[in-house]
Structure 1
Amino acid sequence: MAYLRRTRDPLSRLLHSPSSSSSFFDRITNPILFSSHGLRYRKLEVILTTTIDKLGKAGETVKVAPGHFRNHLMPKLLAVPNIDKYAFLIREQRKLYQREEEEEKTVEEVPKDQQKEDKMKEYQAAAKRLDNARLVLRRFIKVDNELRSPVTKEELVAEVERQLCVNIHPDNLHLPSPLSSVGEYEVPLRLPKEIPRPEGRLQWTLNVKIRRK
């Protein structure tokens, strides 16, 4: 059905354009045209835009009765006449659809264990980056190196994303109270237990340096 949705708009424009008016289908499906021929000539070649049980798959060319095409397949855009302009459109749409199917299949083929392992590697890389980097903030001070406005957990999260390009949740930072003076701090990181800590370290930390503006 996804293939049908992709082809609906362009096919609808072609089917209802002046060059493809109802008179065109009157000519190709008019019973008088077939009155002097045998039964085997009363079939019309059409291209399916979607898979139909007992008829064919999307993109295939099949033969159907003119009345079935006119009354059922054409109004619902389930099929189009097998002529050059429709065949070209179907081929191009089919290429796009098959490419997306292959991409989805590639993602689905990755085992869940492998996806979990890859995700854990991303977490570990992000944790190492946080632990090895230094977050520098410049703030205005009042007196005795006291900040005019304390640095909150939310501000640290925003600065981590801006400076280090790492997205963390406020719950990942252990900051009981805002930072209120200039200096260097080691803010503990609350990361999943599955992420191994650096050798010789009790926990992951984020190094923060607050300087005066």
Structure 2
Amino acid sequence: MHIKGDDTLLFIGDSITDAGRARADPTSLGNGYVHEIAQTLRDRANAGSGPTPGPSPRVINKGLNGNRVYDLESRWTTDVTDLRPTVVTVKIGINDTWRHYDSGLPSPVHEFEACLDRLLASTAQTLAARLVVITPFLLPVTPEQEGWFDDLVPRTEAVLRAARGNGAQVVRADLALLRAVQDREAAELAPDGVHPSPLGHRLIADAWLAAVDTRTPVPRR
């Protein structure tokens, strides 16, 4: 897949995507991986040949703190379909696991998968958009969080099935961060085990660029 200057890239998900964006400003991208991706693509366009910079894609951030997959479904028409993106990236799943442990809020994996599958299938049919799915991840910083994998592992497998069943490009953020944590403390990449540090966000951006836009060189970190 190659990203073109006339593409509209829409990112939707939970707080990891939100990353502090200003809700009242539709151009705000937050301070996380979405901003990093947009900046890299702008830098590439500006480095093109010719006296003026080339076009860079429009980037929209529709992440929202606390969202589970069902929250995405409730706002999908206004926050995705109506905006007519050409590339849709979804990052969801960790809150479905987290709320199970801290609030007892159920999100059965089969229902989670069915919901995500509906969103991807309807988007492909309605928009003919290219689909990208970023896997959820966890870098435990407490003994309690180690137990979350009992729920997160099958949920990640559900994400992969839904993505592949709908022809979506998969970005394995979970594997990228696990590789990175071999040389660093988990808290350096995600201080609370869930929300990435600036370095963690950059690694997610690098994983997205490596999987989705092969023209953009991604440095080793």
Same fold per superposition (TM over 0.5): no
TM-score by length of 1: 0.19
Q: Which has the larger radius of gyration?
A: 1
Higher strand share: 1
TM-score by length of 2: 0.18
For CA contacts below 8 A with separation 6 or more, give which structure has more relative contact order: 2
